[in-house]
Structure 1
Amino acid sequence: MLGRRRRHPPPRVKWLVDALYQQLVAGGIQGYGEALLHEYGQPGEVITHLGLGNGMVSLITWPARAGEPERLTHLVYGGCTPTEVRADLLARGLGGLAVVEVHPPDADLEEDEEDEAAYDD
C-alpha cells in the first residue's frame, strides 16, 4: 500500500435544536464542550468552538499524529439556523452531507411535527 492514503469517512453533522442547545450551554462553554465530547467524541479527540450566527459550530477532531493530519470527525451546530448550517457546510465543501437534528431527551416530537405542519400550509 505504498503511496496510498487511508480514506476516512466524512464528518458526522449534528444540529442541536434551540431547546437542547440552551440547556447544554447554560452551564458555560467548557461544560457544553465536555457534554459534546462525551456524547459524540472518542478518547483522545479534541473540540474547538467557532462562532456562527447567534450560535456556534463545534468541531470534534482527532489531533494530527505521526504521518497523519488532523481529522474532523463531527461538526455540531448549536444556536444556528438551518440556513446558517447549510451555508457553513457548503463553504467547507461538505454541502452534500446529511444533517441530523438532535432534540432533548424529554422532547415531545409529535408536538414538533404539528408545529412544522403549520408552516407547510
Structure 2
Amino acid sequence: MSDSRVGLTVTHRRYVPYAHAHYAGNLVDGAYALGLFGDVATEVCIRTDGDEGLFASYADVQFLAAVRAGDVVEVTATVVRVGTRSRTIDFVARVVCRGRPERGGSAAEVLAEPVVAVTATGTVVVPGAA
C-alpha cells in the first residue's frame, strides 16, 4: 500500500536581495539555497503532518550553477519516502529570473529556460503519533 504523502510537491519563489551578495560578481553563498530548502521543507511537514518538523540531514547536495543577487529562485520540494517519523525529500533550486545590471541598475529578465542551481536530498523528522 503506498502512502498518499509520497509525491507531494511544494514550491516557493524568492527574490535574492543584493544585501545577500557575499562574493565578487554578486554571488551568494551556497548556504542561501540550503536555507530556502529548510523553508520549503517546513511547509511540506505542515502539509503532511500538521507540524513544522525538524531537519535531520542533507545527502548528495550538488551546487550546479551560480545564484546571484537580483535572481528570482524557485525552490521545489517533493516527498519521495515516508517512514514512521521521517520523510525523505528531494529538493531543486532553479533560477527563473536574473538581474542584468550591465543593462541598467534595475534591469532583469525572465529566463527562457530556468537554470538548475542546487539539488539535494534531505531527511526531516516529525513527532510520533500521540
TM-score norm. by structure 2 comes to: 0.33
**Structure with greater strand share of residues:** 2
